[in-house]
Amino acid sequence: MNVITPSVSIIQEYLRKWDSLENYVLQESSLKKLFTKTYPANNNMDDVLIKVCSLNDFYSTNIYSPFFVAKHIVTLNIDDRLKRNDLEIVNEIAKVKMNGKKEINFYSFATKYCSHHKPEIYPIYDSYVEKLLMYLKKRDKFFQFTKGDLKIYSQYNRILLEFQKFYGLEAYNLKDIDRYLWQAGKDYFPKKYN
């Protein structure tokens, strides 16, 4: 496999590609309006439920009971912590007891939920990003971390900052890096469906 080394020109190319994807651009602008203008707070069950359902639908996050996830978010009282850019809130949102029973870790969903409130502070994690980061870590040794570190959000954030620094991408914010990693991960490590 020949993964092109991340650089300013490669990031620029992927950001232009992102801007040409009408469905993703409109989906993101709809979610931005929903999360930052229509329902910016997270203390009302109706408001949080519609945000959880929208994210679940747009991103296919496989949350089969959005009610329990929304209820969990409301009980966490996250608004002040989001304002303070508290990275720990992601892992707390992720761990949801479904129907008061089994705890499920909706980590990728939690990163998306926080990211849609503050995209430049909370980058999104998903399997494509993970595969690309693990590959580049092994090949380029840009930072020392384990696969498990990617699921501890404060560590994940630090890994992305080290990635940004190692490849000289400081001109780009974490949302830009996020968009590059997702698209490049999807290009280089496509899911195989049988």
Q: Is there a single domain that holds both residue 53 and residue 107?
A: yes
Question: Which uninterrupted H or E stretch holds 59?
Answer: helix 45-59
Query: Phi and psi at residue 95, in whole multiples of 5°?
Result: -90, 105
Q: Is there a single domain that holds both residue 89 and residue 135?
A: no
Task: State yes or no: pLDDT of 56 exceeds 90.
Answer: yes
Q: Is there a single domain that holds both residue 105 and residue 42?
A: yes
Find the Cα–Cα–Cα–Cα dihedral 21, 90, 126, 99, rounded to 10°: -110
Q: At which of 59, 89, 113 does a domain end? A: 113
Dist CA 90 CA 96 (whole Å): 12
Look at residue 192 in the predicted model and tell me its pLDDT: 74
Q: At which of 70, 93, 113 does a domain end? A: 113
39 part of a folded domain: yes
Q: Is there a single domain that holds both residue 128 and residue 99?
A: no
pLDDT averaged over every residue in the chain: 95
Residue 162's domain spans which residues?
8-21+123-188
* Exposure string over 40-52, b if 16+ CB within 10 A, otherwise e: eebeeeebbbbbb
Number of domains in the chain: 2
Task: State yes or no: pLDDT of 194 exceeds 70.
Answer: no
Q: Is there a single domain that holds both residue 130 and residue 150?
A: yes
Q: Give this prediction's pTM.
A: 0.95
Bridge partners for 192 per DSSP: none
Look at residue 193 in the predicted model and tell me its pLDDT: 60
172 part of a folded domain: yes
Q: Is there a single domain that holds both residue 94 and residue 164?
A: no
Beta-carbon contacts of 136 under 8 Å, excluding residues fewer than 6 positions away, are 3, 6, 142, 163
Confidence of residue 187 (pLDDT cuts 50, 70, 90): very high
74 part of a folded domain: yes
Q: Is there a single domain that holds both residue 132 and residue 154?
A: yes
Q: Is there a single domain that holds both residue 30 and residue 59?
A: yes
Question: Mean per-residue pLDDT for 36-42?
Answer: 97
Q: Is there a single domain that holds both residue 149 and residue 95?
A: no
Beta-carbon contacts of 152 under 8 Å, excluding residues fewer than 6 positions away, are 91
